[in-house]
């Protein structure tokens, strides 16, 4: 997802694929499917150690992931539950050492077929616990990188979804207005544009009512309704813009 977020990430991702070669098995697996660059990167980069994970993200993000991970906090705990701000990873060096050992154990178990135990039962929960903590902190860092300070409570989500929808509606209204300024009111074409817009708006709202009907009575319905409406409005903007460009070329 991070690789496909924008051109800057995609450009950096190519550095991770310098020695990548497409083979016949890959061609067979993706034939007839739509895949993104992120899919290729995710399944192609080598991850044989904890250090490699950090290095790969450093290429994509252009900053040291270790520092961000060490400072990451759980926003729900601090902003909603009002608990003291504490790092998700208590001691980064300890977590890194445990994940390094986890990768080493994986290598031994998968490739060396040891005859004797290479870890104790007591280690398992500790190793996996550090892995979960790392995943939580990484998700926090990546969420902020991709989306910024996203809303946490349902009320905040509803407000944010409504704001984003209104932004797209204003963009569509400005586009429609620019077309009206180019077409004579005496021209029947503007009448069809008006009818088209009114019909589209009625369809959009009716579809959003239908698609969120199962969530009626729930506080999340506003977020879902606005999200679907925003997607349809984005599609409408693309349609109208394409029509405008076609008309201008005639």
Contact 65/58 with Cβ under 8 angstroms?
yes
Of the chain, the end-to-end C-alpha distance in Å amounts to 40
Same domain flag for 54 and 101: yes
Q: What's the total number of domains in the chain?
A: 3
- Residue-wise pLDDT tens digits, 126-157: 999 999 999 999 999 988 888 888 888 889 99
Same structural domain for residues 61 and 127? yes
- Are 167 and 209 in the same domain? yes
Tokens of 126: 């500790």
Residues 51 and 145 in one domain: yes
Quick check: 65 and 54 in contact, CB under 8 A?
Answer: yes
pLDDT of residue 163: 94
Residue 205, C-beta contacts closer than 8 angstroms, at least 6 positions apart = 229
Same domain, 17 and 68: no
98 close to 130: Cβ distance less than 8 angstroms: yes
| CATH number of 172's domain | 1.20.1270.180
* Average pLDDT for 103-129: 90
Among 92, 114, 149, residue at a domain's last position: 149
Could you tell me how far CA 136 lies from the centroid of its own chain? 16
Name the residue with tokens 């697996």: 29
Query: Could you give the count of Cα atoms lying within 13 Å of 114 in the half-sphere of its Cβ?
Result: 11
Q: Is the pLDDT of residue 223 over 80?
A: yes
Residue 84, token pair as written in the block: 């003291």
- CA angle, 174 then 225 then 149, to 5°: 80
Whether 80 and 126 map to the same domain: the answer is yes
As a whole-number percent, the residues of the chain with pLDDT over 90 amount to: 46
Residues 79 and 96 in one domain: yes
Domain containing 86 equals 47-149
Residue with the two structure tokens 């394409």? 242
DSSP notation for 134-181: HHHHHHHHHHHHHHSS---SHHHHHHHHHHHHHHHHHHHHHHHHHHHT
Burial class of residue 88 in the structure, from the number of CB atoms within 10 Å of its CB (0-12 exposed, 13-18 middle, 19+ buried):
buried
pTM, to two decimals: 0.67
H helix runs in the chain, sequence order: 7-13, 24-30, 37-44, 50-61, 65-71, 75, 92-107, 121-147, 154-180, 188-211, 221-249
Lowest-pLDDT range of 88-92, 179-183, 211-215: 179-183
């Amino acid at each position: 997802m991070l690789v496909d977020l924008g051109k800057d990430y995609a450009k950096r991702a190519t550095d991770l694929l310098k020695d990548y070669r497409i083979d016949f098995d890959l061609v067979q697996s993706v034939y007839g499917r739509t895949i993104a660059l992120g899919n290729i990167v995710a399944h192609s980069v080598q991850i044989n150690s904890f250090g490699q994970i950090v290095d790969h993200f450093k290429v994509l993000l252009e900053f040291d992931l270790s520092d961000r991970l060490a400072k990451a906090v759980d926003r729900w705990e601090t902003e909603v539950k009002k608990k003291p701000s504490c790092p998700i990873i208590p001691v980064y060096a300890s977590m890194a050492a445990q994940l390094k050992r986890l990768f080493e154990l994986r290598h031994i178990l998968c490739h060396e077929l040891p005859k004797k135990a290479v870890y104790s039962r007591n280690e398992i929960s500790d190793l996996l616990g550090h892995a979960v903590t790392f995943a939580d902190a990484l998700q926090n860092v990546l969420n902020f990188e991709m989306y910024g300070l996203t809303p946490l409570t349902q009320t905040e989500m509803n407000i944010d979804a409504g704001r984003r929808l209104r932004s797209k509606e204003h963009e569509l209204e400005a586009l429609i207005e620019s077309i009206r300024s180019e077409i004579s009111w005496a021209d029947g074409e503007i009448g069809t544009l008006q009818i088209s817009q009114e019909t589209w708006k009625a369809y959009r709202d009716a579809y959003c009512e239908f698609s969120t009907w199962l969530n009626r009575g729930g506080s999340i319905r506003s977020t879902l309704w606005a999200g679907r409406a925003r997607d349809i409005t984005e599609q409408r903007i693309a349609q109208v813009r394409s029509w405008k460009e076609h008309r201008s070329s005639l």
